[in-house]
A and B are shown apart, each in its own frame.
Chain A
Amino acid sequence: MNSYLRSHLKQLENEAIYVIREVAAQFDRPVLLFSGGKDSIVMAHLARKAFHPGKIPFPFMHVDTGHNFPETLAFRDTLMEKLEVQLIVGYVQDSIDTGRVVEETGPNASRNGLQTVTLLDSLAEHKFEAALGGARRDEEKARAKERFFSHRDVFGQWDPKNQRPELWNLYNGRKLPNEHFRVFPLSNWTELDVWQYIYEEEIELPSLYFSHQREVIKRDGTLLAVTDVVKPQPGELVETKIVRFRTIGDMTCTGAVESRASNMEEIIQEIASARITERGGRADDKRSEAAMEDRKRQGYF
């Protein structure tokens, strides 16, 4: 093979490392947002590469809803120790206790939506100027236009009408006091790129991603793990299934999939074929005429 060619994963890695270094160089107080999910684990891996043989020169921050899988937290703590980085945890519970947010109630209550307040409060408290995240442009249509360096105003808000043009690899991180940036080094990666990269780089993942036995209930078509915060309601059947998680977040809303994929190769194979039915397979998610009507009213067609 020609030594002047680089695989697409290598090119994506080079680009991500470049962006991470720009953040460390352009901002006095950057932070890496770490959720414990695969994308943020890849981010941690890239940050380590970017500053090798030095240490990662910024802390990580985890917004903890209090409803995390114990496996995620254990994995997180081991990784932080290995990377020798400082971990800052923002607790949603604190936001609830101080009355910054009001918790939802009922069996379907989730703290997912409350995270934003905790995140912004934590960023402000530590005066962070740039927060690195693992979001990708292929995740949804609206993100297809997101910048690598995404500017946020003093309220932490994103103004899609006022994003800076980004040309070549010149990233403009100049800002006014109290404004901040979200930076997305994985912008050009697709979901499959992430998995292939994890495989090639032999990056360790929490055991939740691999198939295991677990007690689950089916709620609104989603398989939820039975835990302290997800308890079976009358009429819900607790079943023991072989499952794994494709994404990892708050236990109240992270669905499991039935799967026997127990290693990376099997997972990649599964992802490759599962993508057919990822969205289309769920009975409740068939687009109704009403949904189509909504779209029309929004001016789609």
Chain B
Amino acid sequence: MMTNQKAAIPEEKVEPMEEVSRPGVKAGVDLLRFTTAGSVDDGKSTLIGRLLYDSKAIFEDQLEAVERASETRGDEHVDLALLMDGLRAEREQKITIDVAYRYFATPKRKFIIADTPGHIQYTRNMVTGASTAELAIILIDARKGVVTQSRRHGFLATLLQIPHLVVAINKMDLVDYKQDVYNQIMADYKAFASKLSVQDIVFIPISALHGDNVVEKSLNMTWYDGPTLLHHLEHVNVGASRNLVDFRFPIQYVIRPNQDFRGFAGQVASGRIAVGEEVVALPSGLQSKVKSIVTYDSEPEEAIIGDSIVITLEDEIDISRGDMIVRTRNLPQKSNQIDATLCWMSETPMNPQGTYWLQHTSRQVKALISELNYKIDVDTMHREPTEALTLNEIGRVQLTTTQPIFYDRYQINRNSGSFVLIDPFTNNTVAAGMIRGQSRQVSDLVDSEEKADTSTGRKKSSDVVWETTGVSREMREEQNKHKAAVLWFTGLSGSGKSTVAKKVEQFLFERGVRTMFLDGDNVRHGLNGDLGFTEQDRQENIRRVAEVARLGFEHGNLVLCSFISPFQSDRDFARSLLPEGRFFEVFVKCDIEVCKRRDPKGLYARALKGEIKNFTGISSPYEEPVNPEIVFETDLHSTEEIVAQILSILEKREILL
């Protein structure tokens, strides 16, 4: 329960205080952080004012003041935008327009709004607000439709990996609440959004001024049967976007009250950990087990993303701030060559020859910009060459750090994939960075990948050198008249992965494309004949397949891999072996009940009887791809449709020329 929303209910409407008298009982009240994007003209202030007003989070005296002001001005309606007037005053006083945080709550949720003003320094503000948001509301003026700014907002929201987008089509009252206006804008925006990797997008027609579909259902738009905005905010699944898989624990502080206790304090950046699990400390690579998880209140058996805890280990290992504890079998990437997207936030332009502090998790290292690849026009999303990034510009850079950092791609892990750059002279935070991966030059591919990495436990010889035959991949691609790539089909057993993959290969072959086909059955006959189905063996199975796929790739092939590959970390490993844009994670989606019915090899039946252990979907989890390049549902579409879709994507991405 939340009591503060009761606070502003006018007195005559005060409900029985029963809930208030039991203030401790409020399991289930969670937290949603969202950001609003739009300029004043789109009605953003009015919308926020309306949300606060209709959810009764406004103090009576604040409201009175606004009512008086509206009356004085002769307004027909109370101008709720006036509630946000702090910003207007500041704008006129020429104080830097900045992100403002606002709070309200309903009995279901507490909300933190990062309100990002739309005009000057838009990119910087939106990036800041978006960095902690789980949802973004993009406002579109129904009269104007999808404009450049709406696209920019969508682009930035997806760049920052905000999992949920709401496109609020505002001022419906000014277009007579017409459904076709809504439909047209929705179609336009969807067409644009298909170019972005949006996971969840919802369109809501509203009038912030009159309150239609903000908190209360609109009587003026009976044709709309979706949720109101507040209903959506209250019910959107906040947990779904958290990375609960990859345990990353950056050490903030070492707690050592006496000789017998040595605890590592930090906030779980992602994933989960339980007492007894095997862990490794990075960068030392020393292994141990979790002895206990300590908090002031209790010693829980398990901790998850977001928990501020202290971990103790079975063995005395030297760990200090900036180090990271991870699971032995789920490691982050390690490199001092970082490929990243950078948003420049300082009035002082980037110094391409300069050195900056790079703050990543609890680690600070020196970094220099080894290459500035291009900047991105946030309005058109076009790439343009540039000498340096200036305030509000976004670009792609290659960074070299003095010591390696342990990271994940931002796309799969916001906490271990983000960093800021700090000017060493002014100490200002000058840029926000999102890691795309390791910098890839051909020469690096040899060194950094193949060197023995003691922390991974994989025995690699540091002497192995990538043998180039004198015929490069580029030469092969030239001759083949298509590019090399890896299509990685993942999905439940019986989802139709191999059926589709084989069909795709057949089409490709007929077009003269050089292909290679790998699936579970053919590799397990020979190459991986020594492996079973434990988690460890399954991981090794995928690792070998990924390496083979890479060999095939380097020889100019379009490699089709069809594996259940249930774990994101394994698929990410495969991805990490290939250059950007050449790895296609293809998620073959199919309802598990349909898979069970299909059961081509009778495996589900056996698994359900308990004859097969660790069977994905029955006794072992399947982690759905976080951000696959291609998704299709075999229980909804025909194989022909799907094949056509895949081929068209390969053409669009210029793999097939």
Q: Is the CB of A50 within 8 A of B128?
A: no
Q: Is the CB of A269 within 8 A of B21?
A: yes
State the CA gap A2–B8 with chains docked (Å). 32
- Nearest CB in chain B to that of A277: its residue: B60
CB-CB contacts below 8 Å: B384-419 with A = 414-415, 418-419
Q: Is the CB of B23 within 8 A of A196?
A: yes
Q: Is the CB of A11 within 8 A of B31?
A: yes
Q: Is the CB of A165 within 8 A of B124?
A: yes
CB-CB contacts below 8 Å: B222-272 with A = 239, 244, 252-253, 255-257, 261, 263, 265-267, 272
Chain A binder among B98-106, B164-172, B197-205: B98-106
State the CA gap A1–B306 with chains docked (Å). 18
> A82 interface residue, CB < 8 Å from B?
no
> A17 interface residue, CB < 8 Å from B?
yes
- Nearest CB in chain A to that of B14: its residue: A273
In the complex, which residues of chain B have a beta carbon less than 8 angstroms from the beta carbon of A141? 86
In the complex, which residues of chain B have a beta carbon less than 8 angstroms from the beta carbon of A8? 29-31, 109-110
> A176 interface residue, CB < 8 Å from B?
yes
Q: Is the CB of B306 within 8 A of A6?
A: yes
> B507 interface residue, CB < 8 Å from A?
no
> A110 interface residue, CB < 8 Å from B?
no
> B55 interface residue, CB < 8 Å from A?
no
Interface residue from A1, A271, A275 paired with B28 (Cβ < 8 Å) = A1
Q: Mark A122-142, 1 if CB is under 8 A from B, else 0.
A: 000000000000000110011
State the CA gap A3–B301 with chains docked (Å). 11
Contact A276 B8, CB 8 Å, known A144-B101, A192-B3 = yes
- Nearest CB in chain A to that of B63: its residue: A280
Contact A14 B267, CB 8 Å, known A170-B418, A174-B427, A276-B60 = yes
> A21 interface residue, CB < 8 Å from B?
yes
> B74 interface residue, CB < 8 Å from A?
no
In the complex, which residues of chain A have a beta carbon less than 8 angstroms from the beta carbon of B345? 165
CB-CB contacts below 8 Å: A147-183 with B = 160-161, 163-170, 172, 174-176
In the complex, which residues of chain B have a beta carbon less than 8 angstroms from the beta carbon of A138? 103
Q: Is the CB of B261 within 8 A of A272?
A: no
Interface residue from B99, B131, B255 paired with A51 (Cβ < 8 Å) = B255
Shortest distance between the CB of B433 and any CB in chain A (Å): 9
Chain A binder among B65-73, B443-451, B568-576: B65-73
Q: Mark B20-41, 1 if CB is under 8 A from A, else 0.
A: 1111101111110000000000
Contact A21 B265, CB 8 Å, known A1-B28, A144-B101, A160-B96 = yes
Shortest distance between the CB of B271 and any CB in chain A (Å): 11
Q: Is the CB of B59 within 8 A of A54?
A: no
Interface residue from A52, A174, A277 paired with B357 (Cβ < 8 Å) = A174
State the CA gap A187–B33 with chains docked (Å). 14
Q: Is the CB of B432 within 8 A of A280?
A: no
State the CA gap A292–B73 with chains docked (Å). 12
> A284 interface residue, CB < 8 Å from B?
no
Contact A21 B308, CB 8 Å, known A172-B359, A292-B69, A300-B88 = yes
In the complex, which residues of chain B have a beta carbon less than 8 angstroms from the beta carbon of A137? 101, 103
Interface size class of B (residues with CB under 8 A): 35 or more
In the complex, which residues of chain B have a beta carbon less than 8 angstroms from the beta carbon of A169? 132, 267, 415
- Nearest CB in chain A to that of B267: its residue: A18
State the CA gap A49–B310 with chains docked (Å). 10
Q: Is the CB of B267 within 8 A of A265?
A: no
> A121 interface residue, CB < 8 Å from B?
no
- Nearest CB in chain B to that of A159: its residue: B96
In the complex, which residues of chain A have a beta carbon less than 8 angstroms from the beta carbon of B294? 52-53
Interface residue from A2, A12, A142, A278 paired with B59 (Cβ < 8 Å) = A278
In the complex, which residues of chain A have a beta carbon less than 8 angstroms from the beta carbon of B92? 299
Interface residue from B14, B98, B131, B253 paired with A167 (Cβ < 8 Å) = B131
> A298 interface residue, CB < 8 Å from B?
yes
> A188 interface residue, CB < 8 Å from B?
yes
In the complex, which residues of chain B have a beta carbon less than 8 angstroms from the beta carbon of A172? 359, 420, 422, 427, 429
Interface residue from A17, A53, A191, A269 paired with B257 (Cβ < 8 Å) = A53
State the CA gap A168–B132 with chains docked (Å). 5
Interface residue from B73, B304, B414 paired with A4 (Cβ < 8 Å) = B304
State the CA gap A268–B4 with chains docked (Å). 9
In the complex, which residues of chain A have a beta carbon less than 8 angstroms from the beta carbon of B143? none
Q: Is the CB of A145 within 8 A of B101?
A: yes
CB-CB contacts below 8 Å: A6-20 with B = 6-9, 11-15, 17-18
Q: Is the CB of B257 within 8 A of A54?
A: yes
Q: Is the CB of B128 within 8 A of A167?
A: yes
State the CA gap A2–B26 with chains docked (Å). 14
Shortest distance between the CB of B131 and any CB in chain A (Å): 4
Q: Is the CB of B296 within 8 A of A48?
A: yes
State the CA gap A195–B127 with chains docked (Å). 32
Contact A163 B98, CB 8 Å, known A4-B239, A52-B295, A279-B61 = yes
In the complex, which residues of chain B have a beta carbon less than 8 angstroms from the beta carbon of A102? none
State the CA gap A165–B415 with chains docked (Å). 17
Contact A301 B82, CB 8 Å, known A170-B359, A268-B3, A292-B69 = yes
> B64 interface residue, CB < 8 Å from A?
yes
> A190 interface residue, CB < 8 Å from B?
yes
Interface residue from B8, B296, B429 paired with A49 (Cβ < 8 Å) = B296
- Nearest CB in chain A to that of B84: its residue: A141
In the complex, which residues of chain A have a beta carbon less than 8 angstroms from the beta carbon of B432? 165, 167
In the complex, which residues of chain A have a beta carbon less than 8 angstroms from the beta carbon of B261? 53-54
Q: Is the CB of A279 within 8 A of B59?
A: yes
Q: Is the CB of A53 within 8 A of B86?
A: no
Interface residue from B89, B110, B297 paired with A300 (Cβ < 8 Å) = B89
CB-CB contacts below 8 Å: A36-86 with B = 48-55
CB-CB contacts below 8 Å: B125-154 with A = 127-128, 131-132
Shortest distance between the CB of A293 and any CB in chain B (Å): 10
State the CA gap A8–B238 with chains docked (Å). 12
Q: Is the CB of A175 within 8 A of B296?
A: no
Contact A272 B4, CB 8 Å, known A48-B296, A166-B128 = yes
In the complex, which residues of chain A have a beta carbon less than 8 angstroms from the beta carbon of B112? 188
> B95 interface residue, CB < 8 Å from A?
yes
Q: Mark A226-269, 1 if CB is under 8 A from B, else 0.
A: 00000000000000000000000000000000000000110011
In the complex, which residues of chain B have a beta carbon less than 8 angstroms from the beta carbon of A144? 86, 100-102
In the complex, which residues of chain B have a beta carbon less than 8 angstroms from the beta carbon of A170? 359-360, 418-420
State the CA gap A175–B7 with chains docked (Å). 42
Shortest distance between the CB of A189 and any CB in chain B (Å): 9
Q: Is the CB of A190 within 8 A of B4?
A: yes
Q: Is the CB of A14 within 8 A of B310?
A: no
Contact A54 B362, CB 8 Å, known A6-B306, A18-B267 = no
Between A and B, 22 residue pairs with Cβ closer than 8 Å are A3-B302, A8-B31, A12-B31, A21-B252, A25-B253, A51-B253, A52-B295, A55-B257, A137-B101, A144-B102, A163-B96, A163-B98, A165-B128, A167-B429, A168-B415, A168-B418, A188-B103, A190-B103, A192-B3, A268-B23, A272-B6, A272-B7
Which A residues are closer than 8 A to B by beta carbons? 1-9, 11-15, 17-18, 21-22, 24-25, 48-55, 137-138, 141-142, 144-145, 160-161, 163-170, 172, 174-176, 187-188, 190-193, 195-196, 199-200, 264-265, 268-269, 271-273, 275-280, 287, 292, 298-301
Give the top 4 A-B pairs by smallest Cβ distance, nearest first: A280-B61, A275-B7, A272-B3, A141-B86
- Extra contacts besides A3-B302, A25-B252, A169-B415 (7): CB < 8 Å: A6-B306, A11-B306, A141-B86, A164-B428, A191-B4, A278-B59, A292-B69
Which B residues are closer than 8 A to A by beta carbons? 2-4, 6-11, 14, 17, 20-24, 26-31, 59-61, 64-65, 68-69, 72-73, 82, 85-86, 88-89, 92-93, 95-96, 98-103, 105, 109-110, 112, 124, 127-128, 131-132, 239, 244, 252-253, 255-257, 261, 263, 265-267, 272, 294-297, 302, 304, 306-308, 310, 321, 345, 357, 359-360, 362, 414-415, 418-420, 422, 427-429, 432
